[in-house]
Amino acid sequence: MLAGTGASAAPVGHGLKGASLAPMAKVTLATARTTALAARPGVITDQELEKEKGGTGLRYSFDIKSNGKTFEVGVCSPSAPMAQI
């Protein structure tokens, strides 16, 4: 559980899809997860790093379960991480 947010991370052993792209990412997975959970508190059930077509580059995508619903939250800014819900 992340202190003070009521949010928690994915279960232990839950990997990052697209991990081979991580060395090219300008935002770390830890920062992206924190940003996503700040935007949508809950439990991360899936996480992926993907290349955006025609976009700004790489994008972290998280499925976050909150209040019985699953939301997709994206984090993609290379200079100042921002969540897109």
Q: Three-class SS string for 15-34?
A: CCECHHHHHHCCCCHHHHHH
- Write out pLDDT tens, residues 26-70: 889 999 999 999 999 999 999 999 988 766 688 999 999 999 999
Q: What is the pTM of this model?
A: 0.74
pLDDT at 79: 55
Q: Which helix (H) or strand (E) holds 53?
A: none
Cβ atoms 52, 71 nearer than 8 A: no
Domains and CATH numbers, the chain: 25-84 (3.10.450)
**What phi and psi values does residue 31 have, to the nearest 5 degrees?**
-65, -40
Residue that is written with structure tokens 């790489």 in the block: 58
